[in-house]
Structure 1
Amino acid sequence: MIHTEGVADVTEETFDAEVLGSGLPVLVQFTADWCPPCRQLAPVLREIAREEADRIKVVRLDVDHHPDLTVRFGVLATPTLMVFRAGEPVKSMVGARPKRRLLQELEDVLTA
């Protein structure tokens, strides 16, 4: 697993508490070690996790190690970025993107 400082790894055991039970919106990256765009996105997510820590939590889930969650949320490609608020998925994006574009796409989540 690519280590991304400030971005916690979640598992099937910790997902409900870390993501669904979070007081903040949570951006989950569904990722895999073999996925080049996932690696490309890692520094972007690390920066967002650090800069927006008071408004959004950023975590990572390895699709190869946690296929049940991948299926549960209908993830068909990596990287998939899914935002959860109050235990519900509210936004889903597929593919790597630059930081500025990702922040624009998260604007409604960050300001709500």
Structure 2
Amino acid sequence: MNMLAVNDKTFQGNVRQAGVTLVDFGATWCPPCKVLKPILDELGEQYGEKISVLELDCDESPSVATEYGIMSMPTVIVFHNGEPVEKLVGLRPKSVYESLLTKYL
């Protein structure tokens, strides 16, 4: 399962209303964002259909980034049943994201 790229128009329609969605707020020019991408890809493979992994380019989709108060990148927000429940700013080890997902699955 690859990450699904979303934008201002498609964001809401792709956040799962039931279950867990992990959203990566980043940008193409951001080095830590490039390091995070394969980690999130791995999580998508690992958890399969249990989770949805979205990526949003803050430069291309400023409305959603502003709505969720994204001040630095990468920022990962975990949504549970359509509501934001956790926000991680900066690059973290894979284990941190795993423990967050486990908490909501």
TM over 0.5, yes or no? yes
1:82 maps to 2:81: no
Residue in structure 1 matched with residue 87 of structure 2 by the alignment: 92
Deviation at 1:107, TM superposition (A): 2.2
1:31 maps to 2:26: yes
Secondary structure in 2 matching 1:54: helix
The gaps in structure 2 that reach 5 residues or longer are: none
Sequence identity percentage: 37
Runs of 4+ residues deviating >6 angstroms: none
Deviation at 1:105, TM superposition (A): 3.0
Q: How many residues align?
A: 105
Secondary structure in 1 matching 2:56: strand
The gaps in structure 1 that reach 5 residues or longer are: none
Residue in structure 2 matched with residue 17 of structure 1 by the alignment: 13
Residue in structure 1 matched with residue 99 of structure 2 by the alignment: 104
1:44 maps to 2:44: no
Whichever structure has more strand as a proportion of its residues is 2
TM-score (norm 2): 0.91
